[in-house]
């Protein structure tokens, strides 16, 4: 499996989350609810629905990560080695260089949006969650990403290494945030281009 320098990996993950946070604050907050909630097609998700989906996962993973870090022994390590399942999840979620999705999947019903909320509420929660995620990444610098484990949302008894959870969670955030931007572009709204996405490994 892939091996990473722990502190470098965390720094790269922080950079990706900071970009998501900047996009939400400086771009999405300025878009009207009617535009943000407009579906690109009858079956496609609006930007609003994309964020609702992400926020739903954040409500599970952020407290779970916080609990795992709080209960962990202090002691960082130089390298993080991704597990086979975590590595698979991250690759499955990660969009390609042009934003294309190598793997399409149906979202679990528990995390699929069922109605349109006011967009400012969805965006505000998304911003709060990214700020929390940045704090968690900072806290994770003092623990071993290999030893701390977090249960996945579909089956909490299946636990992944904290480093893998951070990577696939942030890959998932990028995946659907790009989807939100594509939905907006189909409504004639231009957003800033995305920076390259990669979690460089040794």
DSSP string, 54-98: HHHHHHHHHHHHHHHHHHSPS---SEEE--HHHHHHHHHH---TT
Q: Measured between alpha carbons, how far is 190 from 130 in angstroms, rounded to an integer?
A: 23
Question: Does the pLDDT of residue 142 top 80, yes or no?
Answer: yes
Q: d(Cα 47, Cα 142) in Å, to the nearest integer?
A: 35
State yes or no: pLDDT of 98 exceeds 60.
no
Is pLDDT above 90 for 194?
A: no
Task: Tell which residue, 116, 115, 109, 13, has the closest CA to residue 65.
Answer: 13
**What's the average model confidence in pLDDT over 99-123?**
71
Residue 156 has pLDDT above 90, yes or no: no
pLDDT digits (tens, 9 = 90+) for 29-55: 999 999 999 999 888 899 999 999 999
Percentage of the chain exceeding pLDDT 90: 67
pLDDT greater than 60 at residue 97: no
pTM (whole model) above 0.85: yes
Mean pLDDT value across the chain: 89
DSSP state of 191: -
Architecture of domain 3-185: Up-down Bundle (1.20)
C-alpha–C-alpha distance, residues 180 and 69, integer Å: 31
pLDDT confidence of 152, banded at 50, 70, 90? very high
pLDDT confidence of residue 116 = 83
The count of C-alpha atoms lying within 13 angstroms of the C-alpha of 75, restricted to the half-sphere facing its C-beta, is 6
């Amino acid at each position: 499996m892939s091996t990473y320098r722990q502190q470098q990996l965390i720094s790269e993950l922080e950079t990706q989350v900071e970009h998501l946070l900047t996009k939400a604050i400086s771009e999405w907050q300025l878009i009207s609810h009617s535009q943000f909630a407009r579906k690109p097609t009858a079956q496609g998700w609006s930007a609003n629905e994309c964020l609702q989906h992400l926020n739903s996962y954040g409500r599970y993973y952020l407290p779970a990560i916080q609990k795992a870090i709080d209960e962990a022994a202090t002691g960082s390590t130089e390298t993080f080695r991704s597990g086979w399942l975590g590595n698979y999840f991250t690759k499955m979620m990660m969009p390609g260089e042009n934003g294309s999705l190598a793997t399409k999947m149906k979202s679990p019903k528990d995390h699929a949006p069922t109605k349109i909320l006011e967009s400012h509420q969805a965006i505000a929660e998304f911003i709060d969650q990214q700020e929390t995620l940045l704090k968690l990444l900072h806290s994770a610098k003092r623990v071993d990403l290999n030893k701390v484990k977090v249960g996945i949302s579909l089956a909490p008894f299946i636990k992944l290494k904290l480093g893998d959870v951070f990577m696939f969670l942030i890959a998932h955030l990028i995946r659907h945030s790009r989807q939100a931007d594509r939905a907006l572009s189909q409504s004639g709204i231009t957003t800033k281009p995305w920076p390259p996405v990669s979690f460089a490994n040794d």
